[in-house]
Amino acid sequence: MYSKAEATQLRQAFWTTFGQYMAPVPSAEGDTTNWINYKTGLKHVYFRLQADNHRARVAIELTHPDAGIRELFWEQFGELRTLLHEALGETWTWEAEALDANQLPLSRIGTELAAVNMFNRDDWPRLISFFKPRIMALDAFWADAQWSFEALK
């Protein structure tokens, strides 16, 4: 078990390492991108990379506090489901109703990698190999799909 300070240090070290690894990788549109804190340009629509001592997750999270508006975004992503899965090269799990770490409602489309531990440096290559192609595929998807959400801005 790690102390809170050690866990914080390892968490920061992992995300710094991943950020440095991804820094030279351009976005689908050729721009520099902050891959860890990806900006979709839509409020309440996030591409999240998460890892802990049990698993890693890449997800699209829809966090609008108004359930009706969140459902509109969910339906629009549903219209783009085939395009999304083609860009990803895999099928992700769709959760219309989920809760975040603070027990706030959200909708999530994502995938997980089990049996990895962010606090174990030996797992970092597996984590990076999991995160990199998926966040890049999300970026490629978003380069085309973001325009479908213009009316919802």
Q: Are 45 and 55 in contact (CB under 8 A)?
A: no
Residue 136: count other Cβ atoms within 10 Å of its Cβ: 18
Residue 59 located in a structural domain: yes
Residue 67 located in a structural domain: yes
Residue 20 located in a structural domain: no
Residue 12 located in a structural domain: no
How deeply is 80 buried, as exposed, middle or buried, from its count of CB atoms within 10 A (0-12, 13-18, 19+)? middle
Residue 65 located in a structural domain: yes
What is this structure's pTM? 0.93
Task: Find residue 70's DSSP bridge partners.
Answer: none
Residue 97 located in a structural domain: yes
Per-residue pLDDT tens listing for the chain (153 residues): 678 898 899 999 999 999 999 999 999 999 999 999 999 999 999 999 999 999 999 999 999 999 999 999 999 999 999 999 999 999 999 999 999 989 999 999 999 999 999 999 999 999 999 999 999 999 999 999 999 988 777
Q: Could you give phi then psi for residue 23, rounded to 5 degrees?
A: -50, -45
Residue 102 located in a structural domain: yes
Give the strands of the sheet with 45-51, arranged side by side. Answer: 45-51, 55-62, 105-114, 93-99
The rounded distance, in Å, linking the Cα atoms of 128 and 105 is 28
Residue 5 located in a structural domain: no
